[in-house]
Amino acid sequence: MKRFILGAIVVSLVFTGCFNDDKKENKDSESSVLRPVVVTKPISKNSARSRSFNAISKADQQIKLSFKVNGSIEKFDLNIGDFIRKGDILAKLDAKPYKIQEQQSSYALVEAKANLKNAKSSYERIKKLYINQNASQSELDSAKANFSAIKAKVSNAKEQLSYSKLQSSYTILRAPKSGFVASVYVQKDENVNVGTPLILLSDKDVLDVTTQIPENFINSIAKGDAVNLTFDSIKDETFKAQVSEVAKIASEELKTFQVTVKLKQKDARIKSGMASTIVFYSNAKTSNILEIPSASVLNDNKGHFVYVAVPLKDNLATIKRKDIQVGKLTSTGFEVLDGLNVDDLVLRAGMSQVFENLIVKLR
């Protein structure tokens, strides 16, 4: 009986030893199989960042033209797009009321001059009588005062006549410069007041393009910055321009800042009111900004991080965690502002199956 029990124990120990040896061999076999990983290097963004904004072209100068007097429009036949030259007659008012005033002023001046002539003769006559003691001092003073008063009336009548002639001249509106009619606001036979716009006169050269910039980008723009322009109606062409004006105060309605850029060269195809796109380039330094695939970026309670592979011998590497500061998410990946080097090997996939200090095989 004792021999039987002893033999069973020996068999059991031998079987257990064999099982443990097999388990150890399996474990060693599993540990010898290294997980392959796919890595990528960050891309350095050395070029300046750009932003595009919709814009509208406009003439270098635009002037609203109007009459300086009231009246009824007697002549006006301009249309949008008409080209006018400096000195051309653009419109006329009914000048009859002003001609009547001019005639009345002219008659008043003639009458004042006649009265002045009589007052002068009277004054000189009384002055001689006074010298011969045939007129009193009061008579002399009265004649002198009357002569001075009528003399002042003549001066006033001359000024009134000049003013009437000036008013009459204002009934004709002439072009102060050459250009195109951009807008028309009135029609013939319409009554207009002083300052009522008739037309909008635009320069024949269109050099300015304006846009509205939000506050989060306005400080990246400065006068003199170089920009690129494209126009919807001019395909496959880019135009060079330069920032000429940057508003200091935001508009009340849009809460944006108006920026004007000036084309470096004239182009007859560019007309006022054309839709365009302005590409601004940020002045901020971007030499330290890297970019990696968005799938490589992980996040936990400590913030954003990535797994990097630190190379060893024989194409092996150790997995390490690196905390990073991310920037803008673009169509090509995340900007990395801090935490990575350009030579780091960042894991592109399978991050959930690795952990720090794990030995992996580089593909």
Average pLDDT (123-150) is 90
Give the other-Cβ count within 10 Å of 181's Cβ.
20
Angle at 63 between CA 59 and CA 68, to 5 degrees: 170
DSSP 8-state symbol, 313: S
Give the other-Cβ count within 10 Å of 319's Cβ.
19
**Tens-digit pLDDT profile for residues 209-234:** 999 998 878 888 999 999 999 999 99
| Domain regions of the chain by residue span | 31-47+287-362, 51-59+203-281, 96-169
Architecture label for domain 51-59+203-281: Beta Barrel (2.40)
Is there a contact between 323 and 306 (Cβ–Cβ < 8 Å)? no
Decide if pLDDT at 3 tops 60: no
- The residues with which 321 forms a beta bridge, in sequence order, are 307
Is there a contact between 282 and 54 (Cβ–Cβ < 8 Å)? no
34 by DSSP, 3-state: which?
A: coil
Class of domain 96-169: mainly alpha
Residue 202, by phi and psi: left (phi above 0), alpha (psi -120 to 50) or beta?
Answer: beta
pTM > 0.75: yes or no: no
Give the C-alpha separation, 218 to 225, whole Å: 12
Residue 258: the pLDDT is 95
- The residues with which 330 forms a beta bridge, in sequence order, are 333
Decide if pLDDT at 194 tops 80: yes
**Tens-digit pLDDT profile for residues 37-90:** 999 999 887 555 678 999 999 887 889 999 999 999 999 999 998 999 999 999
Give the C-alpha separation, 156 to 109, whole Å: 8
* The domains spanning 31-47+287-362 and 51-59+203-281 adopt the same CATH topology: no
Q: Does 31-47+287-362 carry CATH code 2.40.420.20?
A: yes
Give the C-alpha separation, 159 to 327, whole Å: 74
Angle at 121 between CA 119 and CA 127, to 5 degrees: 100
Token readout for 202 is 């635009």
Give the sign of the dihedral formed by CA 193, CA 194, CA 196, CA 199. positive
Token readout for 241 is 């321009």
Residue 31: the pLDDT is 43
Q: Which of 309, 243, 280 is nearest to 35 (CA)?
A: 309
Confidence of residue 15 (pLDDT cuts 50, 70, 90): very low
